[in-house]
Chain A
Amino acid sequence: MTTKQLSVFVENKPGRLAEITKILEEINVDIRALSIADTTHFGILRLIVNNPEAAESALKDAGFTVSLTRVIAIEVQDEPGGLARALKHLTVAGITVEYMYAFITKKENSAYVIMRVEDNQKAIDVLEANHISVICGKDIYDM
């Protein structure tokens, strides 16, 4: 029930993101979602792609430091309060979200939210018990 996310260490230098996306283009990998966490000197690029393993090995071959992390994707209603309801349940259960990012899907009126938590299974149990739809990685890769 988890989704594989690629994390790439990127120094704040011109052209680095262009280079990464170019590599993905060359191996015909499609990006589903991305976010960047930035600090003064470096950033972490987080990617959900259609073929995480291929992307990982291509980026490693190109000399990047890459890790594959399992994250949770949930589907929320694309309306005020949609995300708030999901997060409320996690808060009640004492689960901290390390980071998250969202994207609108091709499906009408719904959005996907990617969440990074310490204990995936615990979070999934809480979410599902509260009727929040956790998306299978495969469904996102093939989107």
Chain B
Amino acid sequence: MPNYWNEAMECMEPEKLKELQNQRLVDTVKRVYEHVPFYRKRMEEAGVKPEDIRGVEDLPKLPFTTKADLRDYYPFDTFAVPMDEIVRIQASSGTTGKQIIAGYTQNDLDSWDECVARGLTSIGVSRKDKVHVSYGYGLFTGGLGAHGGASRVGAAVVPASVGNTKRQMTLLRDLQATTLCCTPSYALHLADALQEVGLTKDDLNLKYGVFGAEPWTEAMRAEIENKLGLKAYDIYGLTEVLGPGVSMECAERNGMHIQADFFIAEIVDPDTFEPLPAGEEGELVFTTITKEGMPMIRYRTKDLTVLHTERCACGRTSPRMEKIRARTDDMLIIRGVNVFPSQIESVILRHAEVEPHYMIYVDRVDNSDTLEVHIEVNEDTFSDQVKKLEDLAKEISADIQSVLGIKAAVRLVEPRSIQRSEGKAVRVIDKRKLYK
């Protein structure tokens, strides 16, 4: 017996769903044209008027929106309502160390809760459950997003947030939470920590795991399930579009259901940006069709995946997206945090007049992501005093942490010890192999 939170919407006949999308898209385009100078300008440049958009078929006429746009129009110039209507701000990292933000109206937050509630319900979570949320609470959308959805379902929410693994284990054991929401790497970290203190999955009562905010593999899924004794489900989202819950796997685990009455998903060719049919791999693009605070028109996620539109065995008609297969840019996701190599580069440049050669190493050690930055010592940064060199490494490390919010080990290395590449400089070596 499948579980629906909102059967009317989740199982709506495709024709009716398309009608709803058409109507909501037309309304959204009108709204952004009238209220967001940024979108009006873009549409004028593209020679498109709101009345040219009569439905989903006309979507390709609209220009794309990118993260760079959100940075350029930071902080409020992509908002479509006056500040009185905004009740929440969340943030995510941008490409040059400058974060981008998202503003939500109360209706937006309600929609967000609805999306997450649908996802949780689809895997079996109900008001009888206890949901332990170990995503970070704060500007990052993970914590508050999962929290809102679990509260909406009526579950007892444990807002554990990140860190203090010992206390998290005690809470999981004592409160017997049935559902764990966190990044997949933190789930593995927790599993290993349990083992270390002599606890097993039998001491816990976990049934469901809702893991996202970073790419993970089927092998990781199997390992998490085996170690924590739960069923693990993938959740997807991004701050620019909403947060976690834009899509999530149902009990069938046959792709992540996109909440199609809130978002229109497209797949486009990453080189030509021409729309691609379902079943073909390309860049995922979202248009929000209910969002009030910060509507997104054809937002390029830079995530590569495949869409499937046939009805799922669970009965839902919403399109499903496969796990993210790769990124089209150099963004890394480290411990759930979006990291652009350029952010690290700008920190290094602040500490050296002559740009040093550097390399960023990302790895997963004991199920936790590690970030190490090797910097070649040059005449500009060298000192005959150990303390000065150690201070330099420490300062760079502290600055990286303040920009990214995650720790980085900085190591000074000899000149010419980092391999040079021919052509485009390779600045990152990611050893994690997270994508297929």
Contact = CB atoms under 8 A, between A and B. Distances in A.
Interface of B: 377-379, 382-387, 389-390, 411-417
Contacts of B390: 39
A11 B414 contact: yes
A118 to B, nearest CB: 10
B384 A63 contact: no
B389 A116 contact: no
A10 B417 CA distance: 11
A2 to B, nearest CB: 13
Interface residues of A, number: 21
A101 B348 CA distance: 33
11 contacts: A10-B414, A37-B386, A41-B411, A44-B384, A44-B385, A44-B386, A64-B414, A65-B379, A65-B414, A66-B379, A67-B382
A9 interface: yes
Contacts, number: 56
Nearest to B388: A98
Given A44-B384, A99-B385, A63 B416 contact: yes
Given A11-B414, A11-B417, A39-B390, A65 B385 contact: no
Given A41-B411, A42-B389, A42-B413, A67 B378 contact: no
Contacts of B413: 11, 41-42
A39 B383 CA distance: 14
Interface in A91-143: 98-99, 116
B382 A116 contact: no
Contacts of B414: 9-11, 16, 42, 63-65
Contacts of B377: 9, 42, 65
By Cβ-Cβ distance, the 10 closest A-B pairs, closest first, are A7-B384, A37-B386, A69-B384, A11-B414, A9-B377, A65-B382, A63-B416, A65-B377, A65-B415, A41-B411
Contact of A9 (B382, B387, B411): B382
Contacts of A50: none
B415 to A, nearest CB: 5
Contacts of A10: 414
Contact of A67 (B379, B387, B417): B379
Contact of B384 (A16, A39, A41, A116): A116
User: In this complex, which of B385, B414, B416 has the most chain A Cβ atoms within 10 angstroms of its Cβ?
Assistant: B414
A123 to B, nearest CB: 16
Nearest to B414: A11
B382 A98 contact: no
A67 B383 contact: yes
B415 A63 contact: yes
B205 to A, nearest CB: 43
B386 A116 contact: no
A73 to B, nearest CB: 15
Contacts of A98: 385, 387
A116 B377 CA distance: 21
A98 to B, nearest CB: 6
A3 interface: no
Contacts of A16: 414
Given A39-B386, A63-B416, A65-B382, 13 more contacts: A5-B384, A7-B383, A9-B377, A9-B389, A9-B415, A41-B411, A42-B412, A64-B415, A65-B379, A66-B382, A67-B379, A67-B383, A99-B386
Nearest to B381: A65
B141 to A, nearest CB: 37
A12 to B, nearest CB: 10
Nearest to A42: B412
Contacts of A5: 384
B379 A44 contact: no
Contacts of B385: 44, 98-99, 116
A16 B414 CA distance: 10
Contacts of A64: 414-415
A98 B326 CA distance: 51
A46 B412 CA distance: 18
